[in-house]
């Protein structure tokens, strides 16, 4: 039996803070699609009890004051939505966006591309080809404000994190581990490998949309030179980093 056919959503309370609906024990494409689609399905019904919602790699969370609203009633309403379709094969919501983001791969701006390629069993050229042709989905946001985890790369990209930490990797960095690319929202130490560098700001607190990326959006990277990146960085007041945004059907 396939993984998609097996998964059974589970609904549970998170203390008195809300309700968590989980679609799998581990991160899979089906579980992530279901979490994003289910969150959207509930959000569009505008339940008065739900104060806000979010999604993770495999779950959808709904903030509900369970001291004021009975969990069993919320559970039954959630179960009713779950019964409406096969969430293992759920379609992603319409109105998502595709972001095409220019980045430098390798060089001193992204010094661990060769190391990551070797760990994936690829030449550096083959790794670059895969990283710039893959349409990656925003699986979830986390760790830092607006920071996306992007996936999913091929199985050979199931590379482990480093044993040690890189002391500081800059905002806009593309880092690779466990079949995902994380696009850093701020400078931070990391055990993930620094394979690319962009000028894209994932967190824009002064703008009307502080988090430009949302779960379900798609991202594709294009390869540019370090000289071109420097030119973009010099004229990047809004933080778009020369990215192109396209609305998906």
pLDDT of amino acid 20: 98
**Whether residue 104 is found in the same domain as residue 203:** yes
Closest listed residue to residue 244, CA positions, set 204, 198, 196: 198
Find the CATH number of the domain harbouring 73. 3.30.1360.40
pLDDT per residue over 66-82, tens digit each?
999 999 999 999 999 99
pLDDT per residue over 24-61, tens digit each?
988 899 999 999 999 999 999 999 999 999 999 999 99
**Whether residue 116 is found in the same domain as residue 179:** yes
**Whether residue 104 is found in the same domain as residue 179:** yes
pLDDT of amino acid 5: 46
Domain count, the chain: 2
3-state secondary structure string across the chain: CCHHHHCCCEEEEECCCEEEEECCCCCCHHHHHHHHHHHHHHHCCCCCCCCEEEECCCEEEEECCCCCCCHHHHHHHHHHHHCCCCHHHCCCCCCCEEEEEEEEECCCCCCCHHHHHHHCCCCHHHHHHHHHHCCEEEEEECCCCCCEEEECCCHHHCCCCCCCCEEEECCCEEEEECCEEEECCCCEEECCEEEEEECCCCCCCCCCCCCCCCCCCEEEEEECCHHHHHHHHHCCCCCCCCCEEEECC
**Whether residue 191 is found in the same domain as residue 81:** no
Question: Of 33, 66, 89, which one is at a domain's C-terminal end?
Answer: 89
**Whether residue 182 is found in the same domain as residue 60:** no
pLDDT of amino acid 74: 97
**Whether residue 214 is found in the same domain as residue 154:** yes
**Whether residue 151 is found in the same domain as residue 215:** yes
**Whether residue 63 is found in the same domain as residue 131:** no
**Whether residue 142 is found in the same domain as residue 218:** yes
Q: Which domain holds residue 60?
A: 3-89
**Whether residue 205 is found in the same domain as residue 111:** yes
**Whether residue 131 is found in the same domain as residue 31:** no
Question: Of 38, 62, 89, which one is at a domain's C-terminal end?
Answer: 89
**Whether residue 140 is found in the same domain as residue 26:** no
Find the CATH number of the domain harbouring 126. 2.40.100.10
Question: Of 65, 89, 113, which one is at a domain's C-terminal end?
Answer: 89
**Banded model confidence at residue 6, pLDDT cuts 50, 70, 90:** low
């Amino acid at each position: 039996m396939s993984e998609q056919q097996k998964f059974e959503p589970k609904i549970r309370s998170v203390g008195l803070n809300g309700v968590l609906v989980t679609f799998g024990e581990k991160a899979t494409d089906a579980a992530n699609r279901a979490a994003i689609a289910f969150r959207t399905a509930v959000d569009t019904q505008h339940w008065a009890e739900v104060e806000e919602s979010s999604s993770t790699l495999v779950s959808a969370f709904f903030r509900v004051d369970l001291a004021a609203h009975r969990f069993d009633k919320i559970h039954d309403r959630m179960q009713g939505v779950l019964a409406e379709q096969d969430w293992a094969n759920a379609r992603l919501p319409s109105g998502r966006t595709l972001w095409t983001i220019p980045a430098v791969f390798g060089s001193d701006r992204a010094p661990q591309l060769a190391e990551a390629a070797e760990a994936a069993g690829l030449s550096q050229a083959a790794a670059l080809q895969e990283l710039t042709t893959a349409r990656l989905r925003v699986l979830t946001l986390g760790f830092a404000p607006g920071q996306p985890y992007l996936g999913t790369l091929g199985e050979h990209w199931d590379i482990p994190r480093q044993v040690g930490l890189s002391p500081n990797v800059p905002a806009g960095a593309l880092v690779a581990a466990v079949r995902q690319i994380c696009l850093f929202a701020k400078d931070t130490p990391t055990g993930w490998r620094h394979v690319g560098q962009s000028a894209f700001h994932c967190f824009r607190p002064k703008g009307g949309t502080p988090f430009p990326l949302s779960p379900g959006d798609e991202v594709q990277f294009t390869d540019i030179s370090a000289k071109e990146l420097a030119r973009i960085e010099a004229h990047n007041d809004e933080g778009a980093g020369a990215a192109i945004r396209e609305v998906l059907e």
